[in-house]
Structure 1
Amino acid sequence: MTEFVLVAGAWLGSWAWDDVVPALRGAGHGAHPLTLSGLADRQGVPAGQQTHVQDIVGEIERRDLRDVVLVGHSYSGIPAGQAAERIGDRLARVVFVDSNVPADGESFVSAWPDGRAMVEKSMAENGGFWAPLTEADCTGQDLTDQQIARIVGGATPHPGATLTEPAVLARPLGQLPATYVKCLLDGAQPSGDVVELLTGERWRLVEMDTGHWPMFSRPRELAGVLLEAAAKG
């Protein structure tokens, strides 16, 4: 039995996986959606990037999970990638869903130069938090009006320190067994660092013809991708 640990991206909590979890459990696997510190039902908990890494590692160790497929969406690919190497032989595979990936010594904003000024401006205007999503952010992403309302209504401010603290990797990310899921409506090609990682023997690319939030727009299809990734090990 595979144990899926599911971590949504910026502004979101464990609730973002509600439409994906039933398919994973229905296939006989464990599914553990996780809310990171400072978000959703954990608002008010101080958090930096390493806090989020420890949130993931701590959940896996607390539950004594084995054969873990660790799934990081969007921003959460950065802490998930770091956590994946820290859980050792508990890890079966890490799946990056249209996500950023960590680079040793680099932060979320340093890896996103075009958006850095926008993110930092938002943090300065919102008490150190990245302001939540708006409806405009979700347009053109294969989402219904109802799905957009659900995302925007549930989004909470994102702790700024998680975006500015550097990642810490003990070994090259390409050594991890990984699947990268590219959502084509959010850009036809992965970022350059991901393209380079995909040239390695341990990384695989899966494309989905949907937007940046496939857990809402195509939950059954995303669950199928995750199940297939687990089967390949």
Structure 2
Amino acid sequence: MTNFVLVAGTWLGAWAWDEVAAELRGAGHDVHPLTLSGLAEKRGVPAGRQTHVRDIVDEVERLGLRDVVLVGHSYAGIPVGQAAERIGERLRRVVFVDANVPVDGESFLSGWPSDSVRQSITEHDGFWPPLGAPDYAGQGLTDAQIARIVDGSPHPGATLTEPAVLAGPLGELPATYVKCLLDGEEPMPAVAELLKSDQWELVEMATGHWPMFSEPRELARVLHASVAGS
């Protein structure tokens, strides 16, 4: 039986996957939403370099999971991509949901204009607070959904600035990349390069960057389909 381990991006916890998890369980999968250290109910738990990668690997090993699909949304693609190669034969597939992907030696904040984020982390005692409601406009979200994200946890800054550590080419892992078109129609350059691999597939969704809120049933269908034929 497929085991989905779901990891949301900055400011969010396992709670963000409630609707998606219910749909996947209805399709017969085992589902394990995971809150990363320092967020939601784990707020206050120290999170430094490689903590979030260990969170994911430890969860898979603690539960003795096999036939694992690791799902990383947004920032979580960075630790999920690193964890995917570390769980070895336990991995069935990795799914990146409108996510950043790890590049060896680079961080989440590498490669894009992130000075304002770094400044915000400095000004908020090492944490990146959720953005204001106007920043979520045009992403297919209701006011209530935006309010839930804005009410999320400040994100531990060290996890955003640490360099990724990869043992091998990420393109060799079986992967699906889900591109949410309201957040830009083209994948970022690092993703576009990985999509040249025969091991990777691209799926597009006509929604915004937080599809677990805006289109949970469709996202669950995409996740189910990513393993249905494999």
> Secondary structure at the residue paired with 1:18?
helix
Code of the aligned partner of 2:130: P
* d(CA) in 2 for partners of 1:166, 1:108: 8
The CA RMSD over aligned residues, in Å, is 0.8
Cα deviation for residue 183 of structure 1 reads 0.2
SS class of match (2:6): strand
Q: Distance in 2 between matches of 1:95 and 1:6?
A: 9
Contact between 1:13 and 1:34, CA under 8 Å: does it hold in 2?
A: yes
1:161 paired with 2:158, answer yes
Aligned length: 230
| CA contact 2:70–2:94 (8 Å) conserved in 1 | yes
Q: What does 1:1-233 align with in structure 2 at a 5 Å threshold?
A: 1-111=1-111, 113-114=112-113, 116-153=114-151, 155-233=152-230
The TM-score with structure 2 as length reference comes to: 0.98
TM-score normalised over the length of structure 1: 0.97
Query: Residues of 2 paired with 1:136 and 1:49: CA distance?
Result: 31
Aligned residues of 1:7 and 1:34 also touching (Cα < 8 A): yes
- Secondary structure of 2:69's counterpart equals strand
CA contact (8 A) 1:122 1:130 kept: yes
1:136-156 C-alpha deviation (Å, 9 max, x unpaired): 121100011111112222x11
Identity of aligned residues (%): 70
Question: Hey, what's the Cα distance between the residues in 2 that align with 1:148 and 1:131?
Answer: 14
CA contact (8 A) 2:11 2:149 kept: no
In structure 1, stretches of 5+ residues that fail to align are none
For residue 19 of structure 1, give the secondary structure of its aligned residue in structure 2. Answer: helix
Q: Tell me the distance in 2 between the aligned counterparts of 1:152 and 1:83.
A: 28
Q: Structure 2: which 5+ residue stretches go unaligned?
A: none
**3-state DSSP of counterpart to 1:38:** coil
Which stretches of structure 1, 4 residues or more, deviate above 4 A after TM superposition?
A: none
